[in-house]
Amino acid sequence: MLEQGLMINTSRLMKTINESANIGKLSRGGICRLALTDEDKEMRDLYIQWLENIGLQVSIDDFGNIYGRKEGKNPDAAPVLIGSHLDTQPEGGRYDGILGVLAGLEVLTALNESGVTTDRPIVLINFTNEEGSRFEPPILGAGGLAGHFDKEFVYSRTDREGKTFLNELKRIGYHGSEGNRIQNSHCYLELHIEQGPVLEHKGLDIGVVTGIQGMDWLEVKITGQSDHAGPTPMSMRKDALYVTSKIIQLLQDTVVSQNEEATVTIGRLAIKPNSINCVPGEVIFSVDVRHSDDSVKEQLCQTIIEKMSITAAAEKVSIEINKIWETSASRFSEELIDVISETSDELGYTSKKMISGAGHDSKYMNEITPTAMIFVPSVDGKSHCQEEFTSEEAIEKGANVLLNTVYKLANA
């Protein structure tokens, strides 16, 4: 049952969201706050002030993850964890990731304001480099904490300028201690915008997330022949971009025809020599394949590789295909899913169980502790763009579900 009168302060939560949106602000209202940049440091510094203002114990681990701990009646009990991330895409929105962190801050503020001390401690976490838009792969902070990535791997990641994760972590002053890593936990919860159109399209308040799709990333290199655009007849060209365009269409058709749930995305493309009057001789592009069933994903990925190879051979160009990242599908805790669903119902909110098509910090936290997520609607399904928007009403409902779910679990 709900604790009577336990609700978040919506105006206070929106104030922190709007204030945070001034750090790394872009011309169309979006945010550029890449991991371990000066903008990330500015946001982290402000966030720590907010944690300290409500009396939380603040610590930082060796991956730069920030912890804010509210003590419980039993300080030795395994804590309930809440978390997400403060970093953004290069042209990101003001809700992706940070909603979960600041809603968690509001949860702890509301508990303090109500004079509530839970049986278990509650720990709020900001994870480093969830987006992966500066240091690849994504979700490095949570992955390092969970032991999915070892420290040397995380520290050696470089950005496009050759700067390492470790050096940038030290530069901004957030290289903490390995001893500050969270050692045990009761469970982990994450509130997040959906980043897709389903909840809004169905007119629902809350998404109760049952798991995360698995994904494979491929890097493909097509090598043809770079020639002069004028003297080279169309019939004698080995145009790498033309072949790439055929492959892109083929992949779209293959995935759409084979599986309704699966997705394929070609998100990055590099053309050489990239000159207006040269036939492209080389193209390097990425392929992102996702599905909630790992066996289906692997079969689809193999089909895609075979079809790309056949197309390249038919067009008499060479092809190199490398799998640069792979992650399996996740299944969240049924017990936590039930608590979130029950809480949504008790608050009078409509909800549905759904799979997440995007990766989140929950992906790796799920490997070390029972985990679940709460989604709120994204207007027009937009995210990873400056137009990303979630309404104040939706934020209020999601934060209230988080608050009351945390209260139940921290007293379990």
CATH number assigned to the domain comprising residue 252: 3.30.70.360
Judgement on whether residues 38 and 138 belong to the same structural domain of the protein: yes
Q: For the residues 3-14, what does the mean pLDDT come to? A: 92
Only one residue has tokens 């084979």, namely 258
> pLDDT value at position 80?
99
- Classify residue 5: in a domain, yes or no: no
Other C-beta atoms within 10 Å of 333: how many? 19
**Angle of helix 392-410 versus helix 98-113 axis, rounded to 10:** 60
pLDDT digits (tens, 9 = 90+) for 24-43: 999 999 999 999 999 999 99
pLDDT digits (tens, 9 = 90+) for 240-273: 999 999 999 999 999 999 877 899 999 999 999 9
> pLDDT value at position 4?
74
Report the SS3 class of residue 327.
strand
Judgement on whether residues 306 and 389 belong to the same structural domain of the protein: no
Distances (CA, A) of 58 to 45, 220, 412: 12, 44, 24
In 121-213, where do the E strands start and end? 122-127, 187-193, 206-212
- Classify residue 3: in a domain, yes or no: no
For 191, the token pair is 């509130």
Looking at 307, 327, 347, the residue that finishes a domain is 327
- Classify residue 391: in a domain, yes or no: yes
CA atoms lying within 13 Å on the CB side of residue 173? 8
List CB contacts of 335: < 8 A, sequence separation 6 or more.
370
Q: How far apart are CA 308 and CA 409, in angstroms?
A: 49
Q: How far apart are CA 314 and CA 297, in angstroms?
A: 26
Percent of the chain at pLDDT > 90 equals 97
Looking at 274, 308, 327, the residue that finishes a domain is 327
Arithmetic mean of pLDDT over the chain: 97
Q: Whole domain around residue 43: which residue ranges? A: 10-213+329-410
Q: How far apart are CA 142 and CA 138, in angstroms?
A: 9
Pairing of strands 80-85, 187-193: parallel
> pLDDT value at position 10?
98
Judgement on whether residues 108 and 255 belong to the same structural domain of the protein: no
Q: How far apart are CA 26 and CA 33, in angstroms?
A: 10
With contact defined as beta carbons under 8 Å apart, do 390 and 378 qualify? yes
User: 253 burial class (0-12, 13-18, 19+ CB within 10 angstroms)?
Assistant: exposed
- Per-residue confidence band for 1, with pLDDT thresholds at 50, 70 and 90: low
* 380 pLDDT higher than 90: yes
List CB contacts of 126: < 8 A, sequence separation 6 or more.
44, 47, 65, 66, 83, 84, 85, 86, 101
Percent of the chain at pLDDT > 70 equals 100
Pairing of strands 57-60, 66-70: antiparallel
- Classify residue 88: in a domain, yes or no: yes
Check whether 291 is labelled as a binding-site residue.
Answer: no
Judgement on whether residues 345 and 292 belong to the same structural domain of the protein: no
- Per-residue confidence band for 214, with pLDDT thresholds at 50, 70 and 90: very high
Q: For the residues 379-387, what does the mean pLDDT come to? A: 97
Check whether 384 is labelled as a binding-site residue.
Answer: yes
> pLDDT value at position 331?
97
DSSP structure class, residue 161: T
Judgement on whether residues 42 and 124 belong to the same structural domain of the protein: yes
Number of domains making up the chain: 2
Q: For the residues 173-183, what does the mean pLDDT come to? A: 98
Q: How far apart are CA 248 and CA 100, in angstroms?
A: 35
Q: How far apart are CA 188 and CA 62, in angstroms?
A: 20
- Per-residue confidence band for 5, with pLDDT thresholds at 50, 70 and 90: confident
Q: How far apart are CA 95 and CA 100, in angstroms?
A: 8
Judgement on whether residues 323 and 333 belong to the same structural domain of the protein: no
With contact defined as beta carbons under 8 Å apart, do 332 and 192 qualify? no
203 vs 325, more confident = 203
- Per-residue confidence band for 169, with pLDDT thresholds at 50, 70 and 90: very high
Judgement on whether residues 231 and 345 belong to the same structural domain of the protein: no
Other C-beta atoms within 10 Å of 231: how many? 7
> pLDDT value at position 47?
99
The CATH number assigned to the domain holding 47 equals 3.40.630.10
With contact defined as beta carbons under 8 Å apart, do 138 and 86 qualify? no
Q: How far apart are CA 271 and CA 256, in angstroms?
A: 27
> pLDDT value at position 94?
97
- Classify residue 296: in a domain, yes or no: yes
List CB contacts of 200: < 8 A, sequence separation 6 or more.
194, 377, 378, 379, 380, 381
Pairing of strands 263-265, 318-327: unpaired
* 2 pLDDT higher than 80: no
Check whether 96 is labelled as a binding-site residue.
Answer: yes
